[in-house]
Amino acid sequence: MKVIELDLTGCKYWSELHERIKKAFGFPEWYGKNWDAFWDCIVDLATGSKPLNIEIIGLDILERKFGEDESSILLKCLKRAKYRADGIFANLMKIEIVGGDKRIEIQ
How does DSSP classify residue 99? Answer: E
- Of 43-47, 93-97, 103-107, the range with the lowest mean pLDDT is 103-107
Interval 1-9 mean pLDDT: 89
Longest C-alpha distance within the chain, in Å?
A: 36
pLDDT tens figures, 49-68 = 778 888 999 888 888 888 88
pTM of the model: 0.85
| Alpha helices by DSSP H, 1-107 | 14-25, 35-46, 59-66, 68-89
Angle at 67 between CA 102 and CA 39, to 5 degrees: 80
Are residues 51 and 1 in contact, defined by beta-carbon separation less than 8 angstroms? Answer: yes
| Residue 89 scores a pLDDT above 60 | no
pLDDT tens figures, 67-76 = 888 888 998 9
